[in-house]
Chain A
Amino acid sequence: MKITKEIIQRIEGEATLELEWENERVNFAKIKFFNYRGIEEILQKRPLLDALVLTPRVCGICSHSHAMASVLAMESLLANTGEVLHVSQKAKDIREIALNAEKIHNHIKWYFFTILPELKKIADPSYEGNAFKEKLWYHAQQAVMESLSMGSHFSGQWPHGSFVMPGGVTCDPLKSDVINALGYLDRVIAFCEEHLYGMELEEFLSFDSALQVMSAPCALAYGIDEMLKYGFDSLGRSYDRFLALGESFMYEGALKASKTTVLSADIKYVHESLDHTFFADKYKGYTYSKSALYKKSYFEVGPLARLMVAKEPLMRDFHRRFKDAVLTRVVARVIECAHLLSRTKTLLLELNLKEPSFSPPKQDIHTLSGEGMGVIEAPRGTLIHQVSAHHGMIKSYNIITPTVWNLGNGDRDNPATAQKALIGLNSFTKADFILKSFDVCSVCTTQ
């Protein structure tokens, strides 16, 4: 049996993929993450509110997501002690706008700077294209910047804005901020319409058949064509089980799981496994990444899961044709991006500036004791923050990131989601691409 190890590049942070081969096929895969920082330990014995500043630093790509999960955990802690905060609709909308900016930027960046160059490299191994050396890349980079500038009118900066507090948001935007933000958003939409979708957003969102989007001359159709060419429509399939625990405008309520049909899900069935980590066994462990399971099973989280839970018509058509293959997973991000652009525009247009940004909690946060949990849908999927506090100080803090759901390590008889997608492949290049289709982020996986 042959074993190959490769360091995976052009992801956030570092990861190593170790493949075990038998008869020229991948028999088993180990996904290894090495850069542990210990943020959960560092959070202990600090004042509760400091988590709002510390947790965004878990990840430079999803910093707002962490701030948001953190603030929801604190609000649920307050609720558990009997105080249900009234967070104004305006504050909720501003939080969603900032979070959407992060998701939109992530999807555009990932599609143009990870997926497309990777596909070009598969077509031509000598392709040396740096992410920023072609005109289309340059325009995509502009769009990425513009989506973040849109959000930073409310969040102050990106990455690592501190603008949420239990009870609302700290910013008090003016009408001019909203108009400016709309200006930025319109430019992002214009880029996506011209280059990504090859048509107007509205038209794209009205489709319910894969064939309708495969014919337009655009970056999406190019990607789909390339993926079809190399068989990615049938490769990289995993369990076909989806989970989206955070709330979304696309489906009613929260806590949903889906295996083609939607079941109701409950957070109490989530558990984190330490198998194969250095924490469980210093010598036998091989990664710092834990694994997250729901009812002892591995589920896929992320845009594909969200759209499946929401029964989005276009997504369901892709899924009907290709199941949870790489192609479906990649297309999901692009479809979700369209919904987010349109939703964010509505939010900005309807934002009621007359409402208060912030309603302070009645209890003194410095004396709070209890537990709370915040669950949100981050760019890469379900993100959970669990906090336990004693007299206003953090006793313990647990973070379950989306990549822990997708990129954990299971066993040979029960591989984790990404592992399962890799088994049976016949080339490293394909394995690398399939791993990247989960939008790998090692910095948040290991914290």
Chain B
Amino acid sequence: MEHAKLYERLAERLSNLEKFPRIKEEKSIAALMEEHGISRRDFMKWAAGVTAMLSLPSEFTPLMAQAAELTDRLPVVWLHMAECTGCSESLLRTDAPTIDSLIFDHISLEYHETLMVAAGWQAEHNLESAIEKYKGKFILMVEGGIPAGSSEFFLTVGPHGQTGQKSAQKAADAAAAIFAIGSCSSFGGIQAAHPNPTNAQPLSKVTNKPVINVPGCPPSEKNIVGNVLHYILFGTLPALDAYNRPKWAYGLRIHDLCERRGHFDAGEFVQEFGDAGAKKGFCLYKVGCKGPYTFNNCSRERFNQHTSWPVQAGHGCIGCSEPGFWDNMGPFEEPLGDRLYHTVYGEGADKTADKVGVALLTATAVGIAAHAAIAAVKGSGKTEE
């Protein structure tokens, strides 16, 4: 769609959304920001950042700002399944000047077990009434894999002892849009790793409604908030890849924008942790980086207020936003195409992984230089062993 047309469409959608009543008669986000000492200028800077992050042209920035201001028309229910709470934690580590967190405060977070004050029967009642009151209107965000019953180990929540699966289904049935936050909810996560003791399943397996996957262990706060803003702006689901991940965030490989990419292309690798290459910041492929196989924007967006990310701290990407990565990407400190010892799948699986790896890498590579680099990695790996 042409930009002008798209702009018009989004502006129209926002002005329609504006006519909806606020969920709570509280302060507007503008007033709230002022109270917290965030200027309009800071806010617009932030909006410009999000606009770029969502791969929209910069003239869409005012629309983004407007969308953020309209977040108070949007109730959100956040459910915890089998998880470590890392995604909620990531969500709360929002970017400077922390307008994201303001927005998550400002949007009506109707139910969030870790953050809300209510307890006991009151909490369960809050969930039920939120689902009832905002039927067909709220955004459902689910964190964690869903233990699917056929195992003896269940997740039961609340005084009624309702299974996690059931509460997720119930909420999904009534939701306007469903986001699976984190790799656990998107693909089953760590608890679904072999042998999957609790028969944990991805959210998409327990509902027949479309689920937008926002994987990562944890996903960056920007990917979580960005999806909400995208939904407000467009009112539709974003363009998704084969694993239902929004393309704006998961369209590129970690490898594509990695700060160590130049070293990969030049064939300069860390041979083992602590060597001279490690000190010079060479490519981590040979010590197990899964960046070439992993689709996510960490290398661009980073973590903790844009401070750093695993590759910057000298450790390879573990591939945490890919389906089944716990089993497919391990061992984590070995190159994927270079596995020489037994895994849970026996030796045969290594060969397949090897082929997949090389095929993917070949597709990734920008030219002959990269091919040469891979060949160098594979060759030297073998002679060393």
A residues with a Cβ closer than 8 A to B are 5-14, 16, 34-39, 41-42, 45-47, 49-50, 52-54, 57-61, 63, 113, 117-118, 121, 127-133, 135, 138, 141-142, 144-145, 148-149, 152-163, 165, 167-172, 180, 278, 282, 288, 356-360, 366, 392-393, 428, 432, 443-444
Contacts and interface: CB of A to CB of B under 8 A. Distances in A.
Given A42-B194, A158-B303, A172-B314, 17 more contacts: A6-B159, A7-B158, A9-B118, A14-B158, A35-B164, A50-B330, A53-B332, A57-B189, A58-B84, A133-B105, A145-B305, A156-B309, A158-B93, A159-B218, A168-B274, A171-B315, A443-B83
B86 A163 contact: no
A34 B155 contact: yes
A60 B118 CA distance: 22
A356 B273 CA distance: 11
A180 B312 CA distance: 15
Given A42-B190, A156-B315, A8 B119 contact: yes
A63 to B, nearest CB: 7
A52 to B, nearest CB: 8
A172 B113 CA distance: 38
A358 B314 CA distance: 11
Contact of A152 (B193, B198, B307): B307
Given A130-B115, A142-B98, A149 B305 contact: yes
B114 A10 contact: yes
A14 B273 contact: no
B377 interface: no
Given A14-B113, A163-B315, A157 B310 contact: yes
The 9 closest A-B pairs by CB, nearest first: A60-B86, A358-B274, A156-B313, A38-B197, A170-B314, A6-B120, A157-B303, A37-B191, A60-B84
A6 B125 CA distance: 13
B117 A121 contact: yes
A157 B309 contact: yes
A423 B310 CA distance: 46
Interface string B271-290: 01110001101000000000
A41 B119 contact: no
Nearest to A39: B190
Interface in B301-356: 302-305, 307-315, 318, 326, 330-334, 341-344
27 contacts: A7-B119, A7-B124, A9-B116, A14-B158, A34-B155, A36-B155, A42-B193, A57-B189, A60-B218, A61-B85, A63-B86, A130-B116, A133-B105, A145-B98, A148-B304, A149-B307, A152-B303, A158-B304, A159-B84, A159-B86, A165-B333, A167-B273, A170-B315, A282-B152, A357-B274, A358-B278, A360-B272
B153 interface: yes
B117 A170 contact: no
Interface of B: 35-36, 80-90, 92-94, 98, 101, 104-105, 109, 113-121, 123-124, 145, 152-159, 164, 189-191, 193-198, 200, 217-218, 272-274, 278-279, 281, 302-305, 307-315, 318, 326, 330-334, 341-344
Main SS of chain B's interface residues?
loop
Contacts of B119: 6-10, 432
Contacts of A144: 92
Given A60-B85, A172-B278, A156 B123 contact: no
A53 B114 contact: no
A423 B4 CA distance: 68
Contacts of A52: 332
A163 B330 CA distance: 17
B341 A366 contact: yes
Given A10-B115, A12-B114, A35 B105 contact: no
Contacts of B85: 12-13, 59-61, 443
A297 to B, nearest CB: 30
Nearest to A428: B120
B138 to A, nearest CB: 17
B217 A160 contact: yes
Nearest to A53: B332
B330 A130 contact: no
Contacts of A49: 331-333
Contact of B313 (A60, A142, A155): A155
A58 B190 CA distance: 9
A14 B114 CA distance: 9
Nearest to A432: B119
Which of B273, B311, B313 has most chain A Cβ within 10 Å? B313
A6 B105 contact: no
A442 to B, nearest CB: 9
A366 B84 CA distance: 29
B361 to A, nearest CB: 21
Contacts of B311: 156
Contacts of A5: 159
Contacts of B190: 37, 39, 42, 54, 57
Nearest to A128: B117
B213 to A, nearest CB: 18
Contacts of B278: 170, 172, 357-358
Given A132-B101, A157-B304, A42 B191 contact: yes
Which of A7, A41, A171, A366 has most chain B Cβ within 10 Å? A7
A19 to B, nearest CB: 11
A45 B341 CA distance: 12
B314 A34 contact: no
Given A54-B326, A133-B105, A154-B313, A42 B218 contact: no
